[in-house]
Structure 1
Amino acid sequence: MSKEKFYITTAIAYTSKKPHIGNTYEIVLTDAIARFNRFIGKDVFFLTGTDEHGQKIQEIAENEGITPKQHVDKIAGQIKDIADMLNISYDKFIRTTDDYHVKAVQQIFKKLYDQGDIYKSEYEGWYCTPCESFWTETQLVDGKCPDCGREVKKAKEEAYFFKMSKYQNKLMEYIESHPEFIQPESRKNEMVNNFLKPGLQDLCVSRTSFTWGIPVEFDPGHIVYVWIDALSNYIT
């Protein structure tokens, strides 16, 4: 008789700076849940790892006089060393610079493009480098990033976009018919009221203003943006 499968993951840590207490706190809690589920007989797969691409990392490496790969190798090594020192029982430590992850992300991007979910257009807005986020004029707070409060700069570039708007009704229907899908209830309400009901906007999923990332295989001037690169680690 096969065991019930149980999958659990941390958010993968961003390798811009050295690890902090939040990384440790999260992985210890996740480890406790994984160990308990193994103890009661489930087939557990526990994932953790590191998110290693982006403009912020490229700029930090340039300021340090090293390559982005040298920088992320150092930080990812520190994060893994801490997990091992704490005897964390992870089954896989993934890095978004791993060859198989890079290949899979390129395949995912191409499939989404081929089936009409991704299209090329142009993005213009206010960009916050630390958050790696674009904002509209109305989203800024006192002319600064609404998330971190730092300065933003005007940016315009060609980009690929994912048709999130295409899936709005399907998402609403699924969430309504599967009330346990997003927990706790407060987070479900936040997702529905703040994002879905006002209307989903198409999402920028490539960048051309930096080079440290996974190239779009069929359009090499473009780098796959974090939403498809880092988030895909939970699949790859």
Structure 2
Amino acid sequence: MVRLSVNVNKIATLRNARGGNVPDLIQTVRDIEVFGAQGITIHPRPDERHIRYQDARDLKTVVGTELNIEGNPVPAFVDLVLEVRPDQVTLVPDAPDAITSNAGWDTIRNREFLKEVIGRFRAAGIRTSIFVDPNPEMAAAAAETGTDRVELYTESYASGYGRDPEAAVKPFRETALAAAAAGLGINAGHDLSLDNIAFFAREVPHLMEVSIGHALICESLYLGLENVIGMYKNRLA
């Protein structure tokens, strides 16, 4: 079964909109785990517009499944991860002003930088994953950085799924095979939803984990958080 990690950035965005503690991020994370999620993902950005650095520290003592921290490995982020020591860190090359992640790493051009950063995380006992585009060459090259996994950036799959599911998933299937051949685990995330997740999970080999936030929270407005988590788990089974 593919594991479901719920990205709770949108919960923090809603909380921050009013300046108080409603909704309570910590309690929501506890509930999400009770509802059956197998991991919690957060993506703190330098401006802390949703998840704050302190949230990462607080969640370390709360999350009972797996805590995954995503972000661009700028010095402050690296220091935070080494302090918190989550179960997994996912390296994403997003600009400080990016609304959301919009590209994977060039693992060839950035090999030495990634190798140095990943070496620090692995020395601290933290599993590492690199955000990559659906490109077999980039997935294979990622293995040379010392990473444990890659996370497939699935925006192009989500945008193309409605027109031609097979064409949309093909590059992800090929990239997953290349990653697995290089000895890497495979995660995926970005714009996956109840509509498109089952086909992706069925067609992409060796998939271990998906991280879903925006769609899951939006769907929960209509269907309820507990119900939606159950629906994702059924589609991933």
Same fold (TM over 0.5): no
Is the helix fraction higher in 1 or 2? 2
Q: Which has the higher strand share?
A: 1
TM-score, normalised to structure 2, is 0.29
Report the TM-score, using the length of structure 1 for normalisation: 0.29
| Higher-Rg member (1/2) | 1
